[in-house]
Amino acid sequence: VSAPSCSPKGFPKLKNDTFLRAARGEETEYTPVWCMRQAGRYLPEFRETRAAQDFFATCRSPKVCCELTLQPLRRFPLDAAIIFSDILVVPQALGMDVVMTPGKGPTFPEPLKEVEDLLKLRQKVDVTAELGYVFQAITLTRHSLEGKVPLIGFSGAPWTLMSYMIEGGGSTTMAKAKSWLYRHPDASHRLLRLLTDVIIDYLVGQVAAGAQALQLFESHAGHLGPEQFQVFALPYIRDIARGVKSKLKSEALPLVPMIVFAKDAHYALADLARAGYEVVGLDWTIRPQDARAQIGKDVTLQGNLDPCALYAPKEKIGELVKKMLEGFGTQRYIANLGHGLYPDMSPEHVGAFVEAVHAHSRHMNKH
């Protein structure tokens, strides 16, 4: 079942479209900036709002998701909001149990062990029935933003979700999931295809609900080498861009810009640049100039300050931002961190990062 085709009307008029213009490659007066995990535990108000609730119960409460999404925007002049949710709601929609274990992170009590376990997964997912709570959170947040900045929706990419579903949680080696790629390539492709189909419907549903841009997180790309990435990650990343765009067209929904963020996949940047996404997100392990050289002029770049740079004194953060902007240039560029914010980071330092991007890019554009 596809997402509802009537997009909810009557959203407030967008006042700051700098992020969307940069994503589409249009000229901007300054470089827009947002942070992965900007709605997060580094904010005392986030910890307060979340304190009493189970993590996934929070994800299922549109009101709380909306509040958490808005919190960083009350503090910082960010140029985009990203809906508060989690990539693991997709395996949940397929019928898997996921619990958030304190101190350990997300855990699957019954991960996929054998190829036969694929039969336990829902083969046809009605995303509105299973993930409608995310759509409600997006619609509510889009109204509550009052047009301040655009709202980004997102999903995990197939390989990253598959690796969690088999490992049963985080892993330093991903050996269980990778062993499937070598031992059970056909079953792996079956699982990746199932995930791809659900993700396409899920992302289209997010746009129908009011998302104005979409990001695909291939967070575990770094566990694959170039060959495996070519076979088990890239084709599905491409299919998602193609599938989402054709469904948006056929359902007369806005063609929103799409971002792909494949962490630690510098070996694949040239391919990612041609995968059908308007924006390629970068982690902190690549030089801006090198990324630009591989990706070319027709795709916007996003990233890539080392999140740990935010532990530096504020003046130092300003210098690092200036250097990063000089490397990327101020146009066709969205400033961000090379990964998410950490829970022990100082909100003041996050503010210093955001302000430095705006100040230095405005200055560079004038001169």
Catalytic residues: 37, 41, 50, 86, 164
Q: What spatial distance separates the first Cα and last Cα of the chain, rounded to whole Å?
A: 53
What are the contacts of 100-106 at 24+ separation with CB within 8 A? 100/54, 100/55, 100/56, 101/169, 104/169, 104/170, 105/169, 105/170, 106/164, 106/169, 106/170
Other CB atoms within 10 Å distance of the CB of residue 105: 12
Tokens of 277: 């996404």
Q: How far is CA 126 from CA 47, 62, 280, 364, in A?
A: 33, 19, 29, 48
d(CA 80, CA 82) in angstroms, rounded, equals 7
Residue 191 to residue 121: CA distance in whole angstroms: 9
Number of other CB atoms surrounding residue 313 within 10 Å: 10
**Torsions phi, psi of 80, nearest 5?**
-155, 155
CA 248, 252, 255, 258: dihedral to nearest 10 degrees?
-20
CB–CB of 73/44 below 8 Å?
no
**Alpha-carbon span 164 to 130, nearest angstrom:** 19
Q: Is 95 helix (H, G, I), strand (E, B) or coil?
A: coil
The pair of structure tokens assigned to 315 is 């003046």
DSSP labels, 241-297? HHHHHHHHHHTT-----EEEEETT-GGGHHHHHTSS-SEEE--TTS-HHHHHHHH-S
Structure tokens at 119: 């039969």
Virtual torsion, Cα 337, 171, 106, 121, nearest 10 deg:
110
